[in-house]
Amino acid sequence: MSSADNIFDQVRNTLIDALGVDDSEVTPDASLTRDLGAESIDFLDIVFRLEKAFDIKIPRGDLFPENVLTDPDFVADGKVSDKGIDELRKRLPHADVDKFAENPNVQDIGDLFTVEMITRYIAQKIET
């Protein structure tokens, strides 16, 4: 089993424990909010559990950026602005921001946070 498979398996197990979901629901493209039912409070628990599982430190706002949706430079009329998309690309290099940018509705921003995104983030943290 490759290192990437091991990371995915540990991320999957962490999400199963944190969210109380069935293992068959935790697929690489599953959205934490839409598919797995995560709420904002769950993100703190997920970060804590990932830090413990992988023996790493995840700086506040690093995995799940804060303040983007509350900054008027980044959001207007229920959409993330081009400047906001650029900011998301900087803060979330491990997420598929290009797909979100096609229809950047604020209410859909949770779709950026997928199991695969977390797996890529953890792989990058472990490598550095």
Regarding pTM above 0.85, the answer is yes
- Secondary structure class of 10 (helix, strand, coil): helix
- Collect all residues with Cβ–Cβ distance below 8 Å to 64 and sequence separation of at least 6: 43, 47, 113
Average pLDDT of adjacent 10-residue blocks, the chain of 128 residues: 83 97 96 94 95 94 86 92 94 93 92 94 88
Give the integer Cα–Cα distance in Å for 92 and 25: 24
pLDDT given at position 17: 96
Burial of 96 (0-12, 13-18, 19+ CB in 10 A): middle
pLDDT given at position 10: 96
Give all domains of the chain, ordered by start, each with its CATH number: 1-62+113-128 (1.10.1200.10), 65-111 (no CATH)
Tokens coding 44? 């703190």
pLDDT given at position 128: 66
Tokens coding 57? 């430190």
E-state strands within 27-109? 75-76, 79-80
